[in-house]
């Protein structure tokens, strides 16, 4: 397993390429590899030849006949033919999916290059690496907040001006996926090349921040680092979908989401004591240490997970091995004749087009508001725990740990819901010959939404010196089930409703929630100071309650909106 991980990592791919497959070889690069008979050097089979092989495939969906021992590969079906009379159920697309022996797919049902065939341990380790990358990027947002007082003092700027460093980072990782994530849906790039290139730039562009001699440099490079840190935040869930079957996806995306939630939670905790002891630059040192460590580990051990990219590279190797230049992966066939500019244009425009879909737009805006309140608390917590309860800079970050405790409890409950309620419903639906609609994913999110106003009311009206500090911490921690389960239900909904465009859909979602969330910290302190913690929290709770009927409307009528889309 370790050898395969290293071979499929970015470093392993470079070594394999430079050594022409002598080091860290694939199965088809090893001596003695038996090339499937129909992949040997020969003229391309014409459509008529393929039709002859299958009989008159246009006029029948099932064919029977004698076939030679070989394996025919398509993206939709892997047909393992063992020399016997077989009855084969063939799904045909009359325009482009004639049975073609030159289409390169998986060698068999247990092909270990297929990420969904990896061992449980290998998949779990890769999921951990993706979560580590996500955590590293998300912690970069809130780890900046303990630096704000020091930046204000050193550069003589206002609180709002200094807080722009948080806002611009969040805005950057909202905009970035609209341009970077679609590139991950191009087989020529795949997931890893974009992950690693952007993570490298994320590290490099942190250097001007902690060496800055003016506030303008800090703000500019906080936006740039947010931009290049964005692919992991937007498409980590899509990477999970590459390696886990749909039945298990909710559980592993749930674990990935904990990394996404705990990043902002641990940022003030990790950065607070460093800023208090050594000044505002030290939290930024911590961020570059963590991201550099993640970069090294991921470069060595994170394998490519995107199926079209893996099959594209396999097709390239087989063309070199056999000399048969007609061999191609399905994605190469699908894009044959298209220019690079056309492919890039479609990939880059798709997230913006999808973001305008009515069902997606509401889901994105709603989650954006929920997410924005979470970031608004980065400004409310100092008011409560520094001004009211007199915590110092280091201790003022510790109340955020309440979110990590409630995250663990919430995930456990969510996993039990999936195991004992949602999955049995899904199995019963399949037994009856149909699938549960994607809107079924929203049910638990609607129920969990009640935690949001409840948490706001408790936090706002118990933040008083006469009430022990643990009470507002518990009140704030109750927000976590609301944001976490909403996050889960909406992300599972949008990816289930638009399964072929996971990265683009998640990029649009990241744009909306991050853009909305980026603005809220700018007026957070003024908002709570002018209105008061209680009334301000009550106003936010009222807005969240007003949005719940709209959430219910999406649950009830979302299928009508989806039916009008050409992308679903």
Q: What is the pLDDT of residues 195-220, one digit of tens each?
A: 999 999 999 999 999 999 999 999 99
Per-residue confidence (pLDDT) for residue 18, from 0 to 100: 93
Per-residue confidence (pLDDT) for residue 324, from 0 to 100: 86
Length of the chain as a residue count: 568
List residues bridging with 80 in a β-sheet: 71
Is 90 exceeded by the pLDDT of residue 273? Answer: no
Is 70 exceeded by the pLDDT of residue 459? Answer: yes
Is the pLDDT higher at 144 or at 66? 144
CA-to-CA distance for 169 and 223, rounded, in angstroms? 5
Per-residue confidence (pLDDT) for residue 268, from 0 to 100: 85
**All residues at 6 or more sequence positions from 107 whose CB lies less than 8 Å from its CB, including other chains:** 27, 36, 71, 73, 113
69: left (phi over 0), alpha (psi -120 to 50) or beta: beta
CA-to-CA distance for 98 and 82, rounded, in angstroms? 21
CA-to-CA distance for 407 and 404, rounded, in angstroms? 5
Is 50 exceeded by the pLDDT of residue 42? Answer: yes
> Token pair of 205, please?
């562009």
Over the chain, what is the mean pLDDT? 82
Q: Is residue 156 part of a domain?
A: yes
Q: Is residue 284 part of a domain?
A: yes
If DSSP codes are grouped into helix, strand and coil, which group holds residue 286?
Answer: helix
Per-residue confidence (pLDDT) for residue 12, from 0 to 100: 93
Is the pLDDT higher at 53 or at 458? 458
Is 70 exceeded by the pLDDT of residue 541? Answer: yes
Is 60 exceeded by the pLDDT of residue 522? Answer: yes
Per-residue confidence (pLDDT) for residue 62, from 0 to 100: 34
Q: Is residue 130 part of a domain?
A: yes
Range 401-418 average pLDDT? 90
- Yes or no: say if 438 and 250 are a contact pair by the CB < 8 Å rule: no
Is 60 exceeded by the pLDDT of residue 307? Answer: yes
Q: Is residue 96 part of a domain?
A: no
Q: Is residue 311 part of a domain?
A: no
Range 251-262 average pLDDT? 83
Per-residue confidence (pLDDT) for residue 49, from 0 to 100: 44
Is 80 exceeded by the pLDDT of residue 502? Answer: no
Nearest to 232 by CA among 203, 187, 198: 198
Is 90 exceeded by the pLDDT of residue 515? Answer: no
In angstroms, the first-to-last Cα distance of the chain is 37
Nearest to 150 by CA among 218, 206, 205: 218
Per-residue confidence (pLDDT) for residue 297, from 0 to 100: 96
**Residue 179 sits in which domain range?**
115-305+345-563
| Structural domain count, the chain | 1
Which secondary-structure segment (H or E) carries 89?
Answer: strand 86-89
DSSP 163-201: HHHHHHHHHHHHHHHHHHGGGGGSTTTHHHHHHHHHHHH
Per-residue confidence (pLDDT) for residue 41, from 0 to 100: 62
Per-residue confidence (pLDDT) for residue 54, from 0 to 100: 38
Per-residue confidence (pLDDT) for residue 152, from 0 to 100: 94
Q: Is residue 268 part of a domain?
A: yes
Reported confidence tier of residue 568, pLDDT bands at 50, 70, 90: low
Q: Is residue 23 part of a domain?
A: no
Is 90 exceeded by the pLDDT of residue 47? Answer: no
Per residue in 334-382, pLDDT tens? 877 777 677 777 777 877 778 778 888 888 888 888 888 877 877 788 8
CA-to-CA distance for 261 and 407, rounded, in angstroms? 8
Is 50 exceeded by the pLDDT of residue 51? Answer: no
- Yes or no: say if 226 and 140 are a contact pair by the CB < 8 Å rule: yes
Report the predicted TM-score, pTM, of the whole model to 2 decimal places.
Answer: 0.80
User: CATH number of the domain that 290 lies in?
Assistant: 1.20.1250.20
Half-sphere exposure of 5 (CA within 13 A, CB side): 18
Half-sphere exposure of 262 (CA within 13 A, CB side): 20
- Yes or no: say if 208 and 157 are a contact pair by the CB < 8 Å rule: no
Range 307-329 average pLDDT? 90
- Yes or no: say if 519 and 167 are a contact pair by the CB < 8 Å rule: yes
Is the pLDDT higher at 496 or at 94? 496
Is 80 exceeded by the pLDDT of residue 403? Answer: yes
Q: Is residue 74 part of a domain?
A: no
Range 281-306 average pLDDT? 95
Per-residue confidence (pLDDT) for residue 456, from 0 to 100: 92
Tally of helices (H runs) and strands (E runs) in the chain: 24, 6
Distance of CA 162 to the CA centre of its chain: 29
């Amino acid at each position: 397993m370790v050898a395969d991980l290293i071979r499929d990592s970015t470093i392993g791919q470079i070594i394999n390429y430079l050594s022409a497959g002598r080091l860290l070889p694939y199965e088809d690069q090893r001596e003695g590899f038996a090339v499937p008979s129909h992949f040997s050097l020969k003229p391309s089979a014409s459509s008529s030849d393929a039709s002859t092989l299958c009989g008159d495939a246009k006029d029948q969906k099932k064919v029977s006949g004698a076939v030679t021992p070989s394996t025919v590969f398509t993206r939709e079906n892997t047909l393992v033919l063992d020399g016997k009379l077989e009855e084969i159920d063939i799904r045909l697309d009359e325009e482009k999916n004639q049975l073609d022996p030159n289409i390169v797919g998986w060698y068999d049902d247990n092909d270990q290059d297929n990420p969904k065939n990896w061992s449980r341990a290998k998949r779990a380790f890769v999921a951990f690496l993706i979560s580590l990358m996500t955590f590293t990027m998300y912690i970069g947002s809130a780890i900046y907040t303990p630096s704000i007082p020091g930046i204000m003092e050193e550069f003589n700027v206002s609180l709002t001006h200094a807080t722009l460093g948080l806002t611009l980072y969040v805005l950057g990782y909202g905009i970035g996926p609209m341009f970077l994530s679609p590139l991950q849906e191009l087989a020529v790039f795949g997931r890893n090349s974009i992950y690693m290139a952007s993570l490298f730039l994320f590290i490099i562009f942190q250097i001007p921040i902690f060496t800055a001699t003016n506030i303008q440099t800090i703000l500019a490079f906080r936006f740039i680092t947010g931009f290049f840190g964005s692919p992991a935040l937007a498409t980590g869930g899509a990477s999970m979908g590459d390696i886990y079957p749909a039945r298990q996806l909710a559980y592993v995306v749930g674990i990935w989401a904990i990394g996404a939630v705990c990043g902002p939670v641990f940022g003030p905790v990790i950065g607070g004591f460093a800023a208090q002891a050594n000044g505002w630059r030290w939290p930024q040192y911590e961020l570059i240490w963590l991201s550099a460590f993640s970069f090294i580990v991921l470069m060595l051990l994170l394998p490519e997970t995107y199926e079209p990219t893996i099959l594209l590279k396999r097709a390239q190797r087989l063309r070199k091995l056999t000399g048969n230049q007609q061999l191609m992966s399905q994605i190469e066939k699908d894009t044959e004749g298209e220019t690079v500019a056309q492919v890039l244009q479609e990939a880059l425009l798709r997230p913006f087009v999808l973001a305008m879909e009515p069902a997606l737009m509401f889901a994105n805006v709603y989650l954006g508001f929920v997410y924005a309140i979470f970031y608004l608390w980065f400004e409310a917590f100092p008011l409560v725990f520094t001004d009211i309860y007199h915590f110092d800079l280091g201790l003022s970050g510790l109340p955020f740990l309440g979110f990590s405790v409630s995250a663990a409890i919430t995930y456990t409950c969510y996993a039990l819901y999936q195991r004992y309620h949602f999955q049995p419903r899904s199995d019963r639906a399949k037994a009856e010959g149909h699938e549960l609609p994607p809107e079924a994913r929203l049910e638990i999110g609607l129920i969990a939404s009640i935690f949001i106003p409840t948490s706001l009311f408790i936090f706002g009206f118990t933040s008083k010196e006469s009430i022990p500090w643990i009470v507002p911490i518990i009140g704030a921690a109750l927000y976590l089930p609301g944001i976490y389960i909403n996050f889960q239900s909406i992300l599972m909904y949008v990816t289930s409703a638009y399964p072929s465009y996971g990265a683009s859909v998640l990029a649009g979602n990241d744009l909306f929630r991050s853009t909305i969330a980026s603005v809220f910290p700018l007026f957070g302190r003024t908002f709570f100071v002018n209105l008061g913690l209680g009334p301000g929290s009550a106003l936010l709770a009222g807005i969240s309650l007003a949005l719940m009927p709209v959430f219910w409307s999406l649950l009830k009528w979302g299928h009508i909106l989806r039916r009008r889309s050409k992308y679903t």
